[in-house]
Amino acid sequence: MWRKGKRYGGDSGAGFSAQPAKFAKTDSDDGSGDIVVCELSKGRRVTVRNWQGRIVVDIREFYFKDGKELPGKKGISLPLDQWEVLRDHIDEINEAVMENA
């Protein structure tokens, strides 16, 4: 059953760790541990980050609040297995885009 909130450890075997590892090198100045791979447009970027102990590729919009840049709700976080599927099918995706352009 799905529950809102974070789960840490426990008997569930979900594989969540109490403290996720941090990246050694980051391109952001806010100490979040995110590696900014590219800026897609103003306020939209691709990052690689550690979320609940798992590496994810995050494509997300950002907004400013009180002088800080924060991640918005619009976006997707792909775990490595889903990222690899997308990466492996990029030629087919490009082909479909070219056919419909």
Low-confidence ranges of the chain (pLDDT < 50): 1-3, 5-28
pLDDT of residue 1: 47
Tokens standing for residue 20: 């996720």
Indicate the Cα dihedral angle 38, 40, 45, 48, nearest 10°.
Answer: -40
Q: Which of 56, 86, 57, 62 is nearest to 74 (CA)?
A: 62
What ranges do the domains of the chain cover? 35-100
19 secondary structure, DSSP code: S
pTM of this structure: 0.61
| Predicted pLDDT of residue 2 | 47
CA distances from 43 to 32, 37, 48, 64, 72 (A): 17, 14, 16, 9, 9
What's residue 28's pLDDT? 45
Indicate the CATH number of 35-100 among 2.40.110.10, 2.60.40.10, 3.40.50.880, 2.30.31.10.
2.30.31.10
pLDDT the model gives residue 33: 75
